[in-house]
Chain A
């Protein structure tokens, strides 16, 4: 256990603490700025994972109507449904558990960052003694800037915010993040769970903010905003739940074309797509899908040309 703790400290905590300290010295001895920039850097490093996660979420959202059709088509033949679903996922390059991978990788980073923030802003003498064990003394200026000045606007970053502003900001940013990333579902059970998550997390984190150092709350807010921006660029700025879509077209086969035709006829018959706004969304998504498939085709032809050359 002690070995795990030492590895954790050496690999995660110490680099984070020292990065925060260096940023503090570079950015006008302002720890608030240090947290903001560090969060953006961490989010930047994780962009490939975040983008991958966002794409997976989008693909899964786009495939939903299609999967619904499969359910309707094959009725109670669950084995067939599973086979077809997996085939569909494979065709669209979707791994249903793919969005969990990045989450697993990000999770220790969140925990590490949280611990690093707490340790870098010691609120008592004994905590400052602890901090001495995490610093890289070979780093320039490290001894000169300790203890860190924890003031940032009206906040003492080592203490909880005494006003309700920060808990509200954390809650709102978390809610927006959740709203954008929640995968819509036709299943009422799933829908209610999604609704619960949509409110539970912002409330929970808002509650955390009341008793946690405001430096951590600042991290959550910036991290949420960064997440929203990344998600916005990848999947669009509208929440996923507002997307009523047709799936992204995979490589065209007769079979798929038939299914798509069937999809169209079913959606037409239900009259769901008569709403003007939904039409606009659909045409937007169609354009995106076409762009994607055109891009893919171009890339493929380029690759084959290269091979031929």
Chain B
């Protein structure tokens, strides 16, 4: 005979079992274990080809007019993909092949650095020429999220192991390294033989391109992941301390600061004539006077403005995690058009003539900006990564 109390106890125990089995599935199904790096960037344009690295760990060469794949990628090889496929889960399929930074182009070759520390040299039709484990120059666990910069055959890239690496791509040898106190996620900016970069250690650095010796460093109150931009001997960059700094690029002296942002700066500022456009994670784009740092206008979105905006014709285009692309007038920030993309956008925006390009988590999109400010989505709605046929003819245009 089943006891009454035992019935209750049994119910409680069953409840506990159900609870913890639910927990098990909740934890695993929601993919909230350790987040796997996905990578992805909108890429770089060379003549009529957009080279883009996808969030599935691949590189693709797309025709900028049609969005069609121009070259069949030879990298990663089928063997490498099959090895990674053993990880099984869709999201982890290309885990070790994640690429965050856009490729760099030098002398008709593509250079890209993978998250797990390999520098690849590919031909423009995507055939691998060589690969170097540049991460191991510092440590075997070195990770890379920055976009490499190339100047005179010297590739410069920051790493998670607190170091900036200069690598001679012609001799395939290390040129120099520069040590910081924090990971480097920003891309280096080279200007008049100086390398400018930032670090999560809160510093903005200026070092000599030839030997990696320090010229000056400037401390902010927050980590910096945003890449700096230098224009007419002035450096501009935003920090996690919610301040956008203008420094003298020769001396590192502060010229002015802008303190109105309510959140961090992530994307790189954009300069156009006397305007400085600063995207902020508080969802605003701030337009400042480049000489004084005075706020001219700001435009808000319902998400975060993560990527770097782009100037095209007389407009500035901004992306947001609220899934929309906005076209604003340069002089007063008036919104001319808005395009709902249907997926959050964290990538930079790049341009070619009257076309803009940006990436979402699973697609690359192209939008034509007409002279009157209307936006039309190109490529029949976009180039998607995870389909057998990348371009679907019946996809509905977003704008």
Partner-B contacts on A (CB < 8 A): 60, 63-64, 67-68, 71, 76, 78, 81-82, 85, 96-97, 99-100, 103, 107, 111, 114-115, 118, 122-129, 132-133, 137, 143-144, 146-147, 158-160, 183, 185-187, 189-190, 193-194, 196-197, 200-201, 204, 208, 211-213
Main DSSP-derived SS at the A contact region: helix
The answer on a CB contact under 8 Å between A85 and B4 is yes
CB of B162 to closest CB in A, whole Å? 12
- In chain B between 147 and 184, which residues have their CB closer than 8 angstroms to a CB of chain A? none
User: For the complex, what is the distance from the CA of A201 to the CA of B17, rounded to whole Å?
Assistant: 9
Complex interface: chain B residues within 8 A of A193 (CB): 10, 13-14, 17
Residue B225 at the A interface, CB < 8 A?
yes
**Interface assignment of B20: CB less than 8 Å from any CB of chain A:** yes
CA distance A248 to B263 in the complex (A): 59
From known contacts A118-B32, A143-B264, A212-B27, infer whether A187 and B306 are also in contact, taking CB-CB under 8 Å: no
Instruction: Please report the C-alpha to C-alpha distance between residue A63 and residue B306 in the assembled complex, in whole angstroms.
Output: 62
Q: A144-B222, A147-B223, A211-B33 are in contact. Are A71 and B306 (CB under 8 A)?
A: no
Interface locus among B34-42, B56-64, B65-73, B369-377: B34-42
A206 to chain B, nearest CB (A): 12
Q: A189: which B residues are within 8 A, CB to CB?
A: 2, 6, 10
Chain A residues with Cβ below 8 Å from B242 are 137, 143
Other A-B pairs beyond A137-B242, A143-B221, A200-B17, 6, CB < 8 Å: A122-B35, A124-B35, A133-B304, A143-B264, A186-B3, A189-B6
Contact assessment for A143 and B304 in the assembled complex, using a CB-CB cutoff below 8 Å: no
- Residues of B96-119 at the interface with A, using a CB-CB cut-off of 8 Å, are 100
Chain B residues within 8 Å of A100, by CB: 12, 15
Cβ of B16 under 8 Å from chain A: yes
Residues in chain A near residue B3, CB distance under 8 A? 67-68, 71, 186-187
Within 8 A of A (CB), among B194-225: 200, 202, 221-223, 225
- The answer for the CA separation of A59 and B35 in the assembled complex, in Å, is 44
Q: Does B346 contact A (CB under 8 A)?
A: yes
Chain B stretch 1-54: residues in CB contact (< 8 A) with chain A: 1-6, 8-10, 12-17, 19-20, 24, 26-27, 32-38
Closest to B266 in A: A129
